[in-house]
Amino acid sequence: MQDSFNDEHAAQVIDAAQQMIDIWLRLSPEKQAALLQRFGTQENALAALVATRLVAQPQA
C-alpha cells in the first residue's frame, strides 16, 4: 500500500467519480432507489461505486 497520493492518483479518482456520476444518471429510478436504500444518500452510493471501480482497476 502506498503512503502518498500524487496527481496521477487524484486524476484516477476524479475520472472514476465522473464515470460513476454518468452511470448514476443512466440508472433506472428503481436501481437508484435500491442504492439509496442501501447506502442512505446519493453521495454515499456514488462513493461506494467509485471505491468499487478504483479497487477493480489494475494497479500500474
- Whether 3 is in a domain gets the answer no
Residue 9 has pLDDT above 70, yes or no: yes
Phi first, then psi, for residue 5 (nearest 5°) are -125, 110
- Whether 12 is in a domain gets the answer no
SS in 3 state form for the chain? Answer: CCCCCCHHHHHHHHHHHHHHHHHHHHCCHHHHHHHHHHHCCHHHHHHHHHHHHHHHCCCC
- Whether 29 is in a domain gets the answer yes
Residue 50 CA to residue 16 CA, distance in Å, equals: 6
Tens of pLDDT along 14-39?
888 888 888 889 889 999 999 999 99
- Whether 30 is in a domain gets the answer yes
Residue 60 has pLDDT above 60, yes or no: no
| Residues in the chain, total | 60
Residue 54 has pLDDT above 90, yes or no: no
Tens of pLDDT along 37-50?
999 999 899 888 77
Q: Show the domain range for 60.
A: 25-60
Residue 55 has pLDDT above 60, yes or no: yes
